[in-house]
């Protein structure tokens, strides 16, 4: 107990000092002309939130889905800050991650706690059969933070063989028509218009299967648990929330490209409600190459 209390005290100190800009953000809330960068908005109530307001909202809910842009380091930092803040308030029930699947969770559970404390990054990746598509430098610290807090950690994704099997069956999932249309359009645009028509149903089914797996991971965790996932999965109108047992709070970490405002940076919802319950607007700090170039090369082979 003494070790846990000490850890919580250190987390509280780190959490309170580790997020420069929030104080300035709160003071700037009255400026309606601001772009929204480094600000948090309650999209349902149409109000700006301070950091303390945000945490109060998170703690009111049994589950929180935090959506990120995968290659944005600022989003990973904010996720760790949120997890640490909830833990410092004794409000963190558990952490689920899109970047872990059920097989990797089984490997994680076999690792002795004393071994975890001395393993190198390379040893971690080897022990968990870490997938190269997920940058360990981005997600390893998040996983290690959650484990250090002593809360349940769940792998929330399907395994690669499970995803391949769903895609191969090529069966359209049961979805409301507006959701299916939106998800199909997102798949086509995400593959630069090059996704073969005969793969579309299977790819959509895999997307829905992953949403359902993430919802199932949240369902078995105590309140208030946090799911870390991509923004598409975190959307209230088309993602994990559609399949969750209890309605989660959906928080999107949303990049605001140069020349845009927070309003134009939000995705279009399939209904009259916003795509997220809350949104934290950030700068697009990641330098990206055109993904369509690589995709064209792959389909040309």
Residue 80, both tokens: 């760790």
The confidence score (pLDDT) of residue 195 equals: 82
Give the residue with greater pLDDT, 160 vs 196: 160
Asked if the structure places residue 14 within a domain, the reply is: no
pLDDT tens figures, 92-123: 999 999 999 999 999 999 999 888 989 999 99
Total structural domains within the chain: 1
Residue 17 lies in a domain: no
Q: In what order do the strands lie in the sheet with 63-68?
A: 47-49, 39-42, 278-282, 249-255, 63-68, 225-230, 94-101, 153-157
CA distance 281 to 268: 16
Q: What is the pLDDT of residues 148-194, one digit of tens each?
A: 999 999 999 999 999 999 999 999 999 999 999 999 999 998 888 88
Tokens standing for residue 214: 């993430």
User: Are 227 and 252 contacting, i.e. CB atoms less than 8 angstroms apart?
Assistant: no
User: Quick one: which of 179, 183, 224 has its CA closest to 201?
Assistant: 183
CATH code, 76:
3.40.50.11550
Domain contains 104: yes
Model confidence at 18, pLDDT cuts 50, 70, 90, reads: low
Which tokens go with 268? Answer: 């279009």
| Residue 90: closest CA among 11, 174, 207, 194 | 11
**Domain containing residue 191:** 35-112+129-300
- 268-285 mean pLDDT: 94
């Amino acid at each position: 107990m003494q070790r846990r209390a000490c850890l919580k005290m250190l987390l509280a100190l780190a959490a309170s000092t580790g997020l420069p800009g929030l104080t300035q953000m709160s003071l700037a809330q009255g400026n309606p002309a601001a772009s929204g960068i480094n600000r948090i908005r309650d999209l349902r109530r149409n109000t700006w939130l301070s950091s303390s307001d945000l945490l109060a909202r998170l703690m009111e809910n049994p589950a929180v889905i935090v959506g990120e842009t995968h290659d944005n380091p600022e989003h990973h930092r904010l996720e760790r800050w949120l997890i640490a803040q909830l833990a410092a308030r004794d409000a963190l029930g558990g952490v689920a991650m899109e970047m872990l699947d059920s097989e990797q969770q089984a490997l994680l559970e076999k690792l002795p706690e004393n071994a975890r404390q001395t393993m190198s990054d390379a040893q971690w990746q080897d022990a968990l059969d870490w997938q190269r598509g997920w940058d360990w430098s981005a997600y390893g610290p998040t996983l290690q933070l959650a484990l250090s807090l002593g809360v349940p950690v769940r792998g929330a994704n399907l395994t690669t063989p499970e995803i391949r099997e769903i895609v191969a069956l090529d069966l359209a999932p049961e979805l409301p028509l507006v959701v299916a249309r939106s998800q199909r359009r997102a798949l086509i645009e995400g593959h630069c218009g090059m996704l073969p028509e005969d793969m579309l149903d299977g790819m959509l089914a895999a997307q829905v299967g992953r949403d359902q797996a993430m919802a199932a991971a949240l369902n078995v965790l105590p309140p208030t648990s946090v799911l870390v996932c991509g923004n598409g999965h975190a959307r209230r109108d088309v993602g994990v929330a559609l399949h969750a047992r209890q309605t989660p709070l959906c928080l999107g970490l949303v990049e605001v490209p140069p020349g845009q405002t927070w309003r134009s940076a939000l995705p279009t919802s399939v209904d009259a409600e916003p795509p997220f319950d809350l949104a934290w607007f950030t700068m697009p700090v990641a330098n990206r190459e055109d993904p369509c170039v690589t995709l064209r090369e792959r389909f040309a082979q």
